Amino acid sequence: MSKVALFDSSLRDGAQAEGITFSVEDKIKILKSLDALGIDYVEAGNPTSNPKDLEFFQRVGQMRLENAKLVAFGSTCHKGCDPQEDTYVNALLSAQTRAVAIFGKSWDFHVTDIIRTTLEENLRMIRETIRYAASRDREVIFDAEHFFDGYKNHPEYAMQTLAAAREGGASCLVLCDTNGGCMPGEIRRIVAAVKEKFPDVSIGIHCHNDCGLAVGNSLEAVLAGADHVQGTFLGFGERCGNASLCTILGDLQLKMGYECVPKEKMTELTQTARYIAEIANITLTEKEPFIGRSSFSHKGGMHIDGVNKNPKSFEHIPPESVGNSRRFLMSEVAGRGYLLNKLQRLVPNLTKESEETRRMMDRLKELEHEGYQFEGAESSFELLVRKELGKYRPFFEIEDFKIIGEAGGEDTPFSAYAMVKVRVDDQVKITAAEGDGPVNALDKALRESLEGFFPALRNIYLTDYKVRILDTREATAAIVRVLIETTDGREKWSTVGVSTDIIGASLKALVDSLEIKLIKDVEQHVTF
């Protein structure tokens, strides 16, 4: 297996993405997680750019990394200045990282029109800055900014910038598609030309995703001879983002036969991705390759049947190979066979031809026609099955509720009050609560009513609340679907409610979430 080095720039290039802000603690946590996974290089920022990055480099100076080399990022010296006298170059080296990434201009247009110097002076800036850094015992990675645009405009000069970097002592020449506008064929052709010109040095690739091709272009570069790939772990970055190293790692190591991280670390891919997403405060796309919740989810009946017989019928790799898991989604298209598997958990002797199975399939189709969606709310589906098959005993009954809204003044937010009357066996309790809006008030009042009967409900809370309008043509009379996610700190479950009234839909989902918790505790013999 050929080795391909992975260079993660989440903490530098990724931090330039809209909506992304890292604290020093955030950066340290992400650095540790990437190191644990086996990433080769972690570019952590420019020590001259802001006090936060300066503090970060000071704090990690004594940190021992198992796999990754920490990289500081900076530019070549200024025009007309020797690197030894350049404040920014010396600040870059003061970070004391084993490796540095130095970027320089490879597009003649940028040299003459942006930094406004001569082509020859730019070559000197590249050569001498890298020579100075290498003389200070640094591994130097040269980022040839705008290389592909430069090559297409003036190929001889673009190649001269790489030659200058190599003469200075760069160990890796990284070709940057900075504008993200290259097509795969261009990438492969140009990388191959560079590899032929510089066969004795590592060639890297750095792609942006402005045409949606960052991952594909990175793979094309590897096929053309690149052995160093840069990106951000989850693809976030300036404008449309960078190449996703998470996807590239899966493709290179599992599909193309390259070695990127230790084989045993691949099972940590999903966990690492979700951990970094949590720290970055972003929501992972459910359809994210390899690590998304939907990556190994099956909904169609034929697909579910095929996977049950042999997973490779509809899965390109085993989900556990990247630390993910298979999911079967409950819906009207899931097929009677999958529905039967669900039903048999409660009534083992049911068959595909049973009247109960047919009735449940009809009921499922009827509810989905009304607007219910159970693929993201399997706990509500479980309650539906219990009710239809006579396996359900209500723990409580809501006899009445009332919501009162109160408009706030200029400096007072809108608030709401809820009163709930519940019955548990032969006992009745009425509770009132104030909340930030009617749904929050109703949630609080309902919990307060029930916690005296069921103390375990004190430990659960909502982690997500989504509302979707199903028929916008009906305006404020439209049907709404509410999906909520609840946790008790150990498990998570999702429930759904549908109504023309958002409060009614929310109440249905809330009640289901509480009942599922109580059912779980009864079946696990937890006392209330």
Mean pLDDT check: name the lowest of 110-119, 309-318, 409-418, 502-511: 409-418
pLDDT at 379 over 90: no
pLDDT at 329 over 70: no
Residues in the chain: 528
CA distance 500 to 207: 47
pLDDT at 373: 62
**Of 157, 216, 227, 273, residue with least CA distance to 6:** 227
pLDDT at 476: 59
In the structure encoding, which two tokens stand for residue 339, read together? 């529905």
Q: What are phi and psi of 368, to 5 degrees?
A: -65, -30
CA distances from 317 to 125, 252, 289, 290, 324 (A): 48, 13, 11, 9, 11
In the structure encoding, which two tokens stand for residue 13, read together? 């290039």
Mean pLDDT check: name the lowest of 9-23, 72-86, 404-418: 404-418
CA distance 280 to 274: 10
Residue 333 pLDDT class (50, 70, 90 cuts): very low
Residue 344 pLDDT class (50, 70, 90 cuts): low
Which is more confident, 386 or 59? 59
- Beta strand pairing call for 139-145 and 99-105: parallel
What is the arithmetic mean of pLDDT over 347-366? Answer: 73
Residue 326 pLDDT class (50, 70, 90 cuts): confident
What is the arithmetic mean of pLDDT over 508-516? Answer: 90
Rounded to a whole number of angstroms, the distance between the first and last alpha carbons of the chain is: 57
Domains with residue ranges and CATH for the chain: 5-261 (3.20.20.70), 297-387 (4.10.430.20), 396-453 (3.30.160)
Tell me: the pLDDT tens digits for 268-315?
999 999 889 888 888 788 889 999 888 887 776 677 677 778 878 888
Residue 359 pLDDT class (50, 70, 90 cuts): confident
pLDDT at 124: 98
What is the arithmetic mean of pLDDT over 85-105? Answer: 94
What is the arithmetic mean of pLDDT over 358-376? Answer: 68
Q: CB under 8 Å to 383, separation ≥6 — which residues?
A: 392, 495, 512, 515, 516, 519
pLDDT at 340: 64
What is the arithmetic mean of pLDDT over 31-50? Answer: 90
CA distances from 497 to 88, 286, 375, 449, 484 (A): 58, 22, 13, 21, 9
Tell me: the pLDDT tens digits for 152-204?
999 999 999 999 999 999 999 999 999 999 999 999 999 999 999 999 999 99
Only one residue has tokens 């003036």, namely: 154
CA distance 400 to 402: 7
Residue 424 pLDDT class (50, 70, 90 cuts): very high
Beta-carbon count within 10 A of 175 CB: 32
pLDDT at 337: 59
pLDDT at 528 over 50: no
Mean pLDDT check: name the lowest of 37-46, 56-65, 445-454: 56-65
